[in-house]
Structure 1
Amino acid sequence: MSSRKTWTRLVVCALFGLLLSWVVSCSTTPSISGSQEIEFWTMQLQPQFTDYFKNLISSFEAENSGLIVRWVDVPWSAMESKILTAVAGKTAPDVVNLNPDFASQLASRNAWLELDSKISPQVRQQYLPNIWKASTLNDKSFGIPWYLTTRVTIYNADLFKKAAISNPPRTYEELAQVAKIVKEKTGKYAFFVTLVPGDSGEVLESLVQMGVQLVDAQGKAAFNTPAGIAAFKYWVDLYKNGLLPKEVLTQGHRQAIQLYQSGETALLAAGSEFFGTIAKNAPAIAQVSAISPQITGVTGKKTVAVMNLVIPRDTAKSDNALKFALFVTNNKNQLAFAKAANVLPSTVESLQDSYFKSADANASSADKARIVSASQMQQAEVLVPAMRDLNKLQKAIYENLQSAMLGNKTVEQAVADAATQWNSR
């Protein structure tokens, strides 16, 4: 496409987005003299949490006379394209719910309001330090942490009993031992982990947990080291020894859930919120399922997924947008949303609530999973740092790891080739 056609298309898209925004605003929000509207986008939280957000917004508006909030919920699959179009057309909402991974791509283009001079150290200290760090790029803060999810180990106690395994694995070293015993004693696999580029980042995160540095300060590959080779070899050996299903090369994380629900694998690394899905789809499996902390490596690090709030740099309402974002993420509102959505809050005080500290003897597995998840937050961090072209880093590592698994390359060559592929992107 010529540059002239590209420019014309961008102008048309921007004008269409502006017109659509005006039409929607006029048709759904009454004009209030002297008021200022804050447009707030979330990702796929309707209709399940409609009542929560209506009450939240009403409370904010009651405390801030003259401010009104227009809430727009965007499907998960559409958010990236919609926000990219809106930012390019300078029609972005005032507060946006994203994740640090995607938000960092636009942060590198200076799309978001820098927060370090806007938020006092006292307010910043209310949030978990490792979680705040996830929404920084080049030591500049671009987002406010909101809700969190973290993996736990859900395991089939019946299968463990048949394999004569007393305790679930806590480390990757123990996981390899369990995988061998489960296969020998039951004929089933211990677990499923995907190596499909663009799907779960679990294997990429495992490298960090095993002590591998992915990139250096200049963004160059830093994993072509003895630690990186050892981590590659760990996964290659599991595959070559028949301790991973062949489908790990072609199927995504959905397959991991399906295999666990059908009783074909002994454990599943997933968020505690998956317990509801298992109970609904496979009640017999849910009944024999138990909870253990997330498996980690020599570093002891635990991974966490973060949702944050960002404010576009071009908004004319930055002060009020920031006021609303801090209201959404304050201790009281984070605790309320965490309880409503079965997620974890990102503020220190909220996590001290008894809801995350203890459960009675007759508590459900889902309640126990919540306690285990919350207990991991002090060690939890986003293991793969925000960076440009993260999808390309995952692709380089996964593709070369697959080649080593299939015997097309040595482990050393696979690591070297992955590093070269990343550095020459």
Structure 2
Amino acid sequence: MRRGIAAVALAAAVIVSASACSSGSGSGSAAAGPVTITWWDTSDATNESPTFKTMVADFQKANPDVKVTYVNVPFADAQSKFQTAAGSKGAPDVLRADVGWTAGFAKSGFLAPLDGTAAAADVAQFQPQLVEQAKYEGKLYGVPQVTDTLALMYNKELFAKAGITKAPATWGELKADTALVKEKTGVDGFAVNPQAYYAMPFLYGEGTDMLDVAAKKITVASPAAVKGIDTLKSLVAAPGMAKLDTTSNGYANIMDAFTNGKVAAIIQGPWESANVFKGQAFLKNDNLGIAPVPAGSTGKAGAPLGGHNLVAYAGSDAAHQAAAQKFIAFMTSANSQIYTATKNSTLPTRTDAYTPEVTTNLGIAGYQKVLSTGQPRPAVSQYSSLYDPFGTELIKILSGQESTKAGLDNVAASAKKLLPDYDAQ
């Protein structure tokens, strides 16, 4: 595999060799020696970064004209650190950026557009909706490295004991299945994660989002959004549901219950697949069912697309820009994504990276099938900031402390402060 990655890097080097040699920067000239670029990697330092360190070494072997200074930056700190560094002209040449950061960094002028560069030479091989959320105002500012979305994870054995032969396709079917699982097995049928990100499928299922960017409207408190969250609220109160957990350990408690067979279904992302397979209920990996999130009244299912883009700093000189483009091309190549997927159990962003070697991982194979339901985040820099007020109000709504409309109106008011040129619907 590593030989394969090196081969891709050599091909990428041929593509960009002309631009790298003609950059005009002293630091990039042959006389000055290799160009040294810095990469801030925001992956998990224990479980994921070793894979990327290996890939950096492979890249450097195949590209002796470029050296990479690898820095692992904690994800929680990376956004603010990059903003500070970019504002003082000291940012890394390449950043592994959450998809929710890309538009904001581009709007601030921190990122270099990648259209027509070596970094984007294979853009046609990537999932279209992932490319869409790497853009801002029509220009490409990132290349998708890994992706994720939400799906219904369910325990096939518990479903079978309850006489359920297929995954629920609608929220109404999920509600019925939840009651049936409890009745037949004594196990809770479904557990809700009361966080804003996990509530998004209930909005998408009603054909809405927090914002309508084209119309410049705040839609988080629209009738469709209220209907979606009312559906979620009714699900929380339904027979067979796990008790709503709003504690600081709620996420971990839900995962523990699911992996040990104490709850039959949850909405979750592929980042938990490896942990699920370690649980007592899924030691036989094929006991895990993965299906699209249920649909709302529109008949369509939708889940938010997540993941990370590799972006290039606009403040770098021409030689460093060329080297950064070469590095991004390497790290997002088909062979690199295959290697990353097999080592880190993450979802590739390229269609040609879903090889038999990759899809032997049942978590990856399952989530590949639901990626088509993924909804790109709008290219609005403030969009990700809306999750905080939405999450605060969602807990109050689901706990019965306020009505759905009142809570969502509060979210809309917070959105108006962030987006004063938007109208509330």
2:265 corresponding residue in structure 1: 267
Equivalent residue of 1:78, what SS? helix
- Kindly state the Cα deviation for residue 372 of structure 1 after the two structures are TM-superposed: 1.8
Distance change in 2, residues 1:415/1:66 (3 Å)? closer
Counterparts of 1:23-422 in structure 2, within 5 Å, are 33-46=32-45, 48=47, 52-118=51-117, 123-196=122-195, 201-217=197-213, 219-241=216-238, 244-251=241-248, 252-280=250-278, 282-287=279-284, 289-297=287-295, 298-316=299-317, 317-351=320-354, 353-356=355-358, 367-377=361-371, 379-422=372-415
1:7 corresponding residue in structure 2: none
Distance change in 2, residues 1:334/1:406 (3 Å)? closer
- Kindly state the Cα deviation for residue 120 of structure 1 after the two structures are TM-superposed: 8.8
Q: Which deviations, in whole Å up to 9, do the C-alpha atoms of 1:69-120 show, x marking residues without a partner?
A: 1212223333234323322322111111111112333222111112235369
Structure 1 alignment gaps of length 5 or more? 1-31, 360-366
Query: Contact conserved, 2:99 with 2:308, CA < 8 A, in 1?
Result: yes
Equivalent residue of 1:274, what SS? helix
Distance change in 2, residues 1:117/1:68 (3 Å)? same
Distance change in 2, residues 1:135/1:184 (3 Å)? same
Matched residues in 1 for 2:60 and 2:208: separation?
Answer: 48
Identical residues among aligned pairs (%):
21
- Kindly state the Cα deviation for residue 277 of structure 1 after the two structures are TM-superposed: 1.7
Query: Contact conserved, 2:204 with 2:303, CA < 8 A, in 1?
Result: no
- Kindly state the Cα deviation for residue 374 of structure 1 after the two structures are TM-superposed: 1.9
Matched residues in 1 for 2:283 and 2:151: separation?
Answer: 15
Distance change in 2, residues 1:118/1:152 (3 Å)? same
Matched residues in 2 for 1:424 and 1:401: separation?
Answer: 19
Distance change in 2, residues 1:420/1:49 (3 Å)? closer
Distance change in 2, residues 1:53/1:287 (3 Å)? closer
Query: Contact conserved, 2:191 with 2:263, CA < 8 A, in 1?
Result: yes
Equivalent residue of 2:126, what SS? coil
Matched residues in 2 for 1:308 and 1:293: separation?
Answer: 25
- Kindly state the Cα deviation for residue 411 of structure 1 after the two structures are TM-superposed: 3.6
One-letter code aligned to 2:225: G
Query: Contact conserved, 1:196 with 1:250, CA < 8 A, in 2?
Result: no
Distance change in 2, residues 1:254/1:387 (3 Å)? farther
- Kindly state the Cα deviation for residue 37 of structure 1 after the two structures are TM-superposed: 0.4
Q: Which deviations, in whole Å up to 9, do the C-alpha atoms of 1:16-54 show, x marking residues without a partner?
A: xxxxxxxxxxxxxxxx95221011121235455566445
Distance change in 2, residues 1:411/1:61 (3 Å)? closer
Matched residues in 2 for 1:397 and 1:47: separation?
Answer: 31
Query: Contact conserved, 2:119 with 2:325, CA < 8 A, in 1?
Result: no
Distance change in 2, residues 1:108/1:193 (3 Å)? farther
Structure 2 alignment gaps of length 5 or more? 1-30, 419-425
1:19 corresponding residue in structure 2: none
Q: Which deviations, in whole Å up to 9, do the C-alpha atoms of 1:371-397 show, x marking residues without a partner?
A: 2222233x1434443433335422443
Matched residues in 1 for 2:52 and 2:398: separation?
Answer: 48
Matched residues in 2 for 1:173 and 1:212: separation?
Answer: 19
Distance change in 2, residues 1:151/1:144 (3 Å)? same
Query: Contact conserved, 2:134 with 2:142, CA < 8 A, in 1?
Result: yes
Matched residues in 1 for 2:259 and 2:309: separation?
Answer: 31
Give the CA RMSD over aligned residues: 3.0
One-letter code aligned to 2:300: T
Matched residues in 1 for 2:267 and 2:311: separation?
Answer: 29
Give TM-score, length-normalised by structure 1.
0.79
Equivalent residue of 2:109, what SS? coil
- Kindly state the Cα deviation for residue 305 of structure 1 after the two structures are TM-superposed: 2.2
Question: Which 10-residue stretch deviates more, 188-197 or 48-57?
Answer: 48-57
Query: Contact conserved, 1:39 with 1:69, CA < 8 A, in 2?
Result: yes
Equivalent residue of 1:68, what SS? strand
Distance change in 2, residues 1:139/1:157 (3 Å)? same
